[in-house]
C-alpha cells in the first residue's frame, strides 16, 4: 500500500470524460511521476490521536498554470467519518493564496490528526479530490473519483446535491482513495492497573500482646518485701493471665528478667540480677501454680539500656552530657566512672533513676491467633463485619480477581474512612476498566493521604482515563516504572523499554518491533490477553498457524476477544 495512487493517472482519466476541464489535459502527459504516500501505512493510535503524514510529489513541468486542485483527507470508520484540513494546490498563473506548484514541481507534506473514537478501530484514511478550471464544466470545484478517474454522472451529481445525507456520504466514500488502512490500537491495551501500587494492610495472623510489671528491690538486695510485692500489682497481672486463659486463641509465655542498677562492681551486679530473677520467678510460679503455665527466668546484669531510657525521659539538667558519656564509652567501668565524676547530677541519679533499675521485670507475652483465611472469607460471604485490616488483607491477599476485590473493598469503604481502602479500591476498579469510578476513589483517598503510592496511582489513573496532560502533573515525584508508563502513553516506546514488566513490557516491545523481547516478557503469563498478544506477535512474524492457535486459546478464555480480533488490523491475515 506504500504507492497508493498515481494522481496524474486519475486526472488524465478524468479529462477523458470531463469535457471542458481542459486545464488538466497537459498534466496527464507524464502519468507515472506524481506520487502520493501516507506514513504510517497502517494508522497507529497514540495518546488519544490518530495521525498520519501525507506526502505528494509533483514532477517538473507537470502542473497546469491555471489549474487548482483541492484535496481533503478524511478518516472513515463504522458509523461516521471525520474530515481533516483541506489542502489546496494551484498553478503559478492562479491569483490565489494556495500552495503553488510551479514548473519545478516539488514535494508537499501534510500532517493530519484526528481525535480517537472507539468506532475508529476499523477505519481507513481517504483522500478526496476536486478539480477547478477557470472556464468550462469544471469552473466550480468538481469531485473526482480517485479510484477510476471519473467525475460524477448527472445522476451522481444529483445525489451529491440531494437531501439524502447517507447517500451523499456513501458516494463521496466511493470516490475517495484509501491511502492508509486500519488502526493499530495496541497502545490502549497497556494495563495501567498492573503498574499501580496498593497500600499495605497491617493484618497479622498472630498478634503479640505484651503486659509487664516490675518487682523492685532494695540496694544490693534480692529479697521480695511485702511492700514491693504490693507495688508490683501482681493481682492485675494475674487478672490478665486469667482473661487470656478464657481465649482459646491465646498462647501465653511468662518470663522474668532480672536486672541490677549500673553502679557498683559489675561482677556483683551480675550475681544480684540472677538472684532477683530467681526470687521473682518463685513468687510468680506460686501465683500461677493453678494455671499450668511455666515461668522462664534469665539474668541481664547491669541495666544500661534502662538507664539510657530513663535519662532520655528525665528532666535532669545535664542529661545530654550523660547521654554523651553513654555513647562515647562502651566499658561499664568507664561509664560508671565518668558518670560519678558528674558530681552535680550524681545525687539526683542515686535518688531518682538508679532505684528504678534494681528490679526484676515480670512479662506476659501473649500470642493471639486472629481470624484464619477461611474465617475471613466466610465473613465476607456472609456479610459479617471485619476490621479494616481484615478487609484490606482479604482484598489484597485472598483473591487476585479485581471483581472480587471491588466487592470486598466497596463494603469496607461503607464502614471505614481509610485512605488505603479508597486507594486499593481504585486499583481494582482500574483493572476492571472502570476508570471514572477509579478516579473518584483515588481522589477521595487523596483528601486523606499524600503518600507516594497514591501520587503514582493518580498519574496512572489519569493515563487510564486518557488524560495525559493531567497525569504529567504527578510525574515529578513518581518512580521509574510510572514514568515509563507515561512515556508509553505518549508513544515514546524507546523511553519505556526495559522499565516495565510482564504484559506491559511485551506491549512496549511489540510497538518497538522487538518481538523476541516481547515473547520473553509474556513467558509466564497465561491470561487471555497474553495469548491474544502472542497471536499478534506470531502474525507479525508471518507464522499464521501459531497466530491462529494463540488466538483460539485467547478467545476460549475470553470469548469477547473474538469481536476485537475481527476489527484488529494486526490480525487481519489471521481472521480473514
**What is the rounded CA–CA span in Å between residue 332 and residue 330?**
6
- Class of residue 42 by CB neighbours under 10 A (exposed 0-12, middle 13-18, buried 19+): middle
Least confident of 180-194, 227-241, 336-350: 336-350
Q: 259-271 as b/e, with b when 16 or more CB fall inside 10 Å?
A: bbbbbeeeeebbe
Residue with cell 469503604: 413
Mean pLDDT for 332-349 is: 80
SS (H, E, C) 454-468: HHHHHHHHHHHCCCH
In contact, 515 and 541? CB cutoff 8 Å: yes
**Residue among 367, 370, 369 nearest 254 (CA):** 367
CA 285, CA 278: separation in Å to the nearest integer? 10
pLDDT band at residue 79 under the 50/70/90 scheme? confident
3-state secondary structure of 82: strand
For 503-526, give one letter per residue: b (16+ CB within 10 A) or e: bbbbbbbbbeebbebbbebbeeee
**C-alpha gyration radius of the chain:** 41
Burial (CB count within 10 angstroms: exposed 0-12, middle 13-18, buried 19+), residue 227: exposed
* Rounded percentage of the chain residues whose pLDDT exceeds 90: 75
**Whether 250 contacts 293, CB under 8 Å:** no
pLDDT in tens, 239-257: 999 999 999 999 999 999 9
Q: What is the pLDDT of residues 461-484, one digit of tens each?
A: 999 999 999 999 999 989 999 999
Look at the block and give the residue holding cell 507537470. Answer: 62
How many Å apart are CA 336 and CA 404, to the nearest integer? 62
Domains of the chain: residue spans and CATH: 7-184 (2.60.40), 206-369 (3.30.1330.60), 373-525 (1.25.40.10)
First to last CA, the chain: 18
Looking at residue 5, the DSSP 8-state letter turns out to be: B
As a whole number, the mean pLDDT across the chain is 90
- pLDDT at residue 351, as a whole number: 85
Sign of CA dihedral 561, 563, 568, 572: positive
Q: Is the pLDDT of residue 319 over 90?
A: no
Q: Reduce the DSSP state of residue 44 to 3 states and report it.
A: strand
Please enumerate in sequence order all residues whose Cβ is within 8 A of that of 126, keeping only pairs 6 or more positions apart, or say none: 73, 74, 75, 76, 173, 176, 177, 178, 179
pLDDT band per the 50, 70, 90 thresholds, residue 343: low
Q: What is the pTM of this model?
A: 0.77
Read off the pLDDT band of 32 (50, 70, 90): low
Amino acid at each position: 500500500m506504500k504507492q497508493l495512487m498515481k494522481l496524474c493517472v486519475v486526472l488524465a482519466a478524468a479529462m477523458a470524460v470531463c469535457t471542458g476541464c481542459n486545464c488538466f489535459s497537459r498534466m496527464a502527459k507524464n502519468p507515472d511521476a506524481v506520487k502520493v504516500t501516507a506514513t504510517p501505512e497502517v494508522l497507529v493510535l497514540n495518546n488519544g490521536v490518530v495521525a498520519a503524514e501525507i506526502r505528494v510529489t509533483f514532477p517538473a513541468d507537470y502542473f497546469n498554470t491555471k489549474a487548482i486542485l483541492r484535496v481533503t483527507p478524511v478518516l472513515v470508520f463504522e458509523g461516521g467519518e471525520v474530515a481533516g484540513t483541506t489542502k489546496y494546490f494551484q498553478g503559478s498563473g492562479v491569483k490565489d493564496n494556495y500552495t503553488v506548484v510551479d514548473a519545478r514541481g516539488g514535494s508537499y507534506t501534510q500532517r493530519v490528526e484526528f481525535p480517537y473514537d472507539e468506532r475508529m478501530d476499523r477505519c481507513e484514511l481517504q483522500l478526496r479530490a476536486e478539480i477547478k478550471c477557470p472556464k468550462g464544466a469544471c469552473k466550480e470545484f468538481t469531485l473526482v473519483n480517485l479510484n477510476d478517474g471519473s467525475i460524477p454522472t448527472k445522476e451522481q451529481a444529483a445525489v451529491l446535491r440531494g437531501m439524502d445525507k447517507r447517500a451523499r456520504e456513501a458516494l463521496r466514500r466511493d470516490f475517495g482513495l484509501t491511502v492508509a488502512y486500519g488502526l493499530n490500537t495496541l497502545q490502549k491495551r497497556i494495563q495501567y492497573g498492573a503498574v499501580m501500587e496498593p497500600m499495605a494492610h497491617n493484618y497479622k495472623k498472630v498478634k503479640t500482646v505484651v503486659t509487664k510489671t516490675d518487682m523492685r528491690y532494695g540496694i544490693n538486695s534480692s529479697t521480695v518485701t511485702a511492700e514491693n510485692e504490693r507495688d508490683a500489682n501482681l493481682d492485675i497481672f494475674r487478672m490478665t493471665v486469667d482473661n487470656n486463659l478464657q481465649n482459646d486463641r491465646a498462647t501465653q509465655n511468662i518470663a522474668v528478667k532480672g536486672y541490677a542498677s549500673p553502679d557498683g562492681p559489675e561482677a556483683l551486679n551480675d550475681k544480684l540480677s540472677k538472684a532477683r530473677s530467681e526470687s521473682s520467678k518463685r513468687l510468680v510460679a506460686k501465683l500461677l501454680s493453678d494455671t499450668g503455665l511455666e515461668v522462664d527466668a534469665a539474668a541481664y546484669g547491669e541495666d544500661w539500656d534502662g538507664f539510657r531510657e530513663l535519662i532520655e525521659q528525665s528532666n535532669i539538667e545535664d542529661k545530654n552530657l550523660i547521654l554523651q558519656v553513654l555513647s562515647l564509652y562502651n566499658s561499664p567501668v568507664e561509664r560508671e566512672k565518668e558518670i560519678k565524676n558528674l558530681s552535680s547530677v550524681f545525687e539526683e541519679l542515686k535518688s531518682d533513676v538508679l532505684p528504678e533499675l534494681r528490679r526484676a521485670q515480670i512479662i506476659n507475652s501473649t500470642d493471639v491467633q486472629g481470624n484464619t483465611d477461611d474465617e475471613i472469607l466466610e465473613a465476607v460471604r456472609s456479610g459479617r463485619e471485619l476490621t479494616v485490616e481484615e478487609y484490606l488483607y482479604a482484598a489484597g491477599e485472598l483473591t487476585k480477581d479485581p471483581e472480587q476485590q471491588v466487592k470486598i473493598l466497596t463494603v469496607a469503604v461503607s464502614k471505614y474512612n481509610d485512605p488505603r481502602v479508597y486507594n486499593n479500591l481504585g486499583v481494582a476498579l482500574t483493572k476492571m476498566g472502570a476508570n471514572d469510578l477509579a478516579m473518584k476513589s483515588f481522589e477521595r483517598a487523596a483528601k486523606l493521604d499524600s503518600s507516594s503510592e497514591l501520587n503514582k496511582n493518580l498519574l496512572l489513573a489519569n493515563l487510564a482515563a486518557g488524560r495525559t496532560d493531567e497525569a504529567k502533573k504527578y510525574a515529578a515525584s513518581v518512580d521509574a516504572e510510572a514514568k515509563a508508563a507515561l512515556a508509553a502513553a505518549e508513544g515514546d516506546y524507546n523511553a519505556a523499554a526495559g522499565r516495565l514488566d510482564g504484559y506491559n513490557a511485551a506491549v512496549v516491545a511489540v510497538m518497538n518491533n522487538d518481538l523476541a523481547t516481547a515473547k520473553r516478557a509474556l513467558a509466564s503469563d497465561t491470561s487471555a490477553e497474553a495469548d491474544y498478544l502472542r497471536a499478534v506477535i506470531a502474525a507479525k512474524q508471518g507464522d499464521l498457524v501459531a497466530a491462529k492457535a494463540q488466538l483460539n486459546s485467547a478467545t476460549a478464555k475470553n470469548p469477547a476477544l473474538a469481536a476485537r480480533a475481527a476489527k484488529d488490523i494486526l490480525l487481519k491475515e489471521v481472521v480473514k
